[in-house]
Chain A
Amino acid sequence: MEAINNLLGGSMVPDVLFYVFAALTLLCGVLVVANPFSRNPVTSAMFLVLTIISMAGLFVLLHAFFLAAVQIIVYAGAVIVLFLFVIMLLDLKEEQRRKIKLFGALTGLISVGAIVVISLKALGAMPPGQNGTAPQLEGGTEALGKLLFTQYVLPFEVVSVLLLVAMVGVILLSRKDLK
């Protein structure tokens, strides 16, 4: 933690690292959605792992150390393994042959481009001023845990009930004789 803080303390290093991780995140995101070389879901899952890991790097740059660790453990560790298990369970040989429809791609590009342009314009209209001050926030385990078990203890308990419900639901859904 101390070494990371020293590294992040320099003036130029975090900015350069931000651009590296941002470029990596967006590049791998493009390769998840539209890989020109392969339409295999396994390739998409692998690039999703890379996207999530570089996003954990962005979290570290934002001093959210606990969330960076959780991101790697939960997403790259558990969610992607679940995805790969399901890809193995399903026989997806047939899926590779199908082409992306030109009409769907075109309308999708137009609508998504419009949404992204609108949000970037809104961002450009934001009054400047936040950038000058250096924030002092540290998202370590201790601070986050203290907040989680005092102010947010009710949502924490509700989430545990939600996880239980999800577990029961998954067991019910994966029965062989599903009605």
Chain B
Amino acid sequence: MHAGLEQYLTVSFLLFGLGLLGVIMRRNLLVIYMSLELMLNAANLALVSFSRFNDKLDGQVLVFFIITVAAAEVAVGLALIVALYRKRQSAHVEDLTTMKL
């Protein structure tokens, strides 16, 4: 079958679902963060395929900005996780219950 826009978008949706599943299911903060990266990558794939099949480069420029912001976000998020680990000795979401009523 010819690989058109629908096939690329299907891959993107499935990858986004996988990332969301990881965020909901896993309990380790680092693996949750990796699943977030998967979701961002799925959005990137959708944007690049839209850009390709609409003959416009704007989508690719947007992906460029998303990659930049994702790199900054990973740096800040991992610093937060390390600071949290120093205080609590755990990177596990079930141990972080300070805000629970």
Contacts and interface: CB of A to CB of B under 8 A. Distances in A.
Interface of A: 14-15, 18-19, 22, 25-26, 29-30, 32-34, 41, 44-45, 48, 51-52, 55, 58-59, 61-64, 66-67, 70-71, 74-75, 78-79, 82-83, 86-87, 89-90, 92, 94-95, 98, 100-101, 104-105, 107-109, 111-113, 115-116, 119-120, 123, 126, 130-131, 135-137, 139, 143-144, 147-148, 152, 155, 159, 162-163, 165-167, 169-170, 173-174, 178
Query: Which of B19, B56, B72 has most chain A Cβ within 10 Å?
Result: B72
A128 B31 CA distance: 38
A19 to B, nearest CB: 7
Given A33-B25, A137-B56, 15 more contacts: A29-B14, A62-B52, A64-B63, A67-B64, A86-B78, A108-B21, A111-B24, A113-B17, A123-B6, A130-B5, A139-B60, A155-B65, A159-B65, A167-B75, A174-B82
A155 B66 CA distance: 11
A55 B45 CA distance: 8
- Please classify the interface of chain B as helix (H, G, I), strand (E, B), loop, or mixed, using the class held by over half of its residues: helix
Contacts of B92: 95, 98
Interface residues on B, range: 35 or more
